[in-house]
Structure 1
């Protein structure tokens, strides 16, 4: 409200203050001095971050439909040579100042206190699904298992497209659409991870290369995110629930920038997505595990026959 002592801040000014904080990570007092406002005014930034998320989420990060999953898979095959891939998952630790009265809940294996960001990234390095707010001490597997995405992936309610045969590999039969992950996560029929070990035969090493090439896009997306929004380069000195709002705002703004900046559509980098998935222990001897092993073996055969790319042997 406008008063006898000062005028109210417009929405544009509040947005500018919020974007300055997200882009620099400076303290609230530094931001307040820059804009000549009170620290208590800057402390209302979470409301602006919430408004950014609410206004943009339906347009720039809506849950993909079956047709959108299919479109993502087509782009993964075209750009990163991994067919039937609907995305790559990975996790990022967002470093926090140790929250009060939380013990070791946020203390992670890196020796810092953090909030966990779990993300699914498409072939164009845009976030499609995110889950923010996991304790830093929780394993990647635990974060995924407790997330809405992880539960939907396990129950088969993600509305993924029906299985299809690989291009040129009709004799291999139809395969399900999958997500790609690194070796920290379990193998499932809709979640591919590399073969473990070092002294692997050539066929398995080629599969690992092709999967890693596809999954690095999520790593690339996290790199772009932390470069544009420098708050990730500092210790965030706010409560975890406030930091969660800031992280969600930067993720949706990341998508906004990538889809509205023409220059981004003209650049092509050879990167892929990394997906952190739940480490749920040893694979049980059940039908689901056997099907997952079969799917990975079929992909391995395909990458070494009909689905080869010219440079994979050199790599």
Structure 2
């Protein structure tokens, strides 16, 4: 993970809000399954429930479809949550070693709570003060459905990044037939080149999440100042209420 300053995280959050209307997001996280030919002497370690061999590319992406941090090579039998928890990016995030700002007010909500910055992930990730996940799919009321819809708009950035990566580097369209160490190096190289291409040339992409229908989306302690924390559950509740206010609502 490249070292970033507070202003870099604020810029990422501003870009996420501009693209997805979700405030204070400093990244979207998810794991991508990379198919490969069975490594020698690996047993079933890389064998997945989808019935093929793979390793996992765990990524943290920004709003411009670039990789902020990656972790490559985890067993296909491991869950996304387990892989992320054991990764260096997660350990540095939890230990507050990334120079991430404490928090700020939401747009048009200067008299409300100061909300921390966070990364967004799907329901596979556990509850955390640093990770914002969607509400469970069952028994969703109106405000929770709106929150999940807005959350999906932000989280799908990482899925679009995977699509851009695979479309540019076609090696991901077939099982990679090399030893596991070389496979990891190939994946890392593709991610580095992906960021380089995004910065130098850009990639034309239709942001389809702008048209994500509401009916089909997938699914931190009290706070008086910036230095305090608010639980992930309380952040989710506060954002759910915030998103249905007139100054935060959007057309869907």
Whole-angstrom CA distance in 2 between matches of 1:214 and 1:113: 30
Q: Secondary structure at the match of 1:92?
A: strand
Q: Which has the larger radius of gyration?
A: 1
Q: Secondary structure at the match of 2:26?
A: strand
2:17 corresponds to which of 62, 68, 77 = 77
Whole-angstrom CA distance in 2 between matches of 1:268 and 1:124: 13
Contact persistence 1:220–1:271 (CA under 8 A) = no
**How far 1:261 moved relative to its partner?**
0.9
**How far 1:160 moved relative to its partner?**
0.9
Higher helix proportion (structure 1 or 2):
1
List runs of 5+ in structure 2 lacking aligned partners: 211-219, 223-228
Structure 1 moving runs of 4+ over 6 Å: none
Structure 1 partner of 2:225: none
1:172 correspondence with 2:140: no
Structure 2 partner of 1:307: 248
**How far 1:133 moved relative to its partner?**
1.3
Structure 2 partner of 1:209: 149
When normalised by structure 1's length, the TM-score is: 0.71
Whole-angstrom CA distance in 2 between matches of 1:154 and 1:62: 17
Contact persistence 2:115–2:230 (CA under 8 A) = no
Q: Deviations over 1:109-149 (max 9, x none)?
A: 21111111001111111111111111111111111111001
**How far 1:290 moved relative to its partner?**
7.4
Cα RMSD for the two superposed structures: 2.1
Structure 2 partner of 1:64: 4
Whole-angstrom CA distance in 2 between matches of 1:190 and 1:307: 23
Whole-angstrom CA distance in 2 between matches of 1:126 and 1:254: 7
2:207 corresponds to which of 233, 258, 269 = 269
**How far 1:108 moved relative to its partner?**
1.5
For residues 1-315 of structure 1, what are the structure 2 equivalents within 5 Å? 62-261=2-201, 264=203, 269-271=207-209, 291-305=231-245, 306-311=247-252
When normalised by structure 2's length, the TM-score is: 0.88
Contact persistence 1:63–1:128 (CA under 8 A) = no
Whole-angstrom CA distance in 2 between matches of 1:270 and 1:101: 42
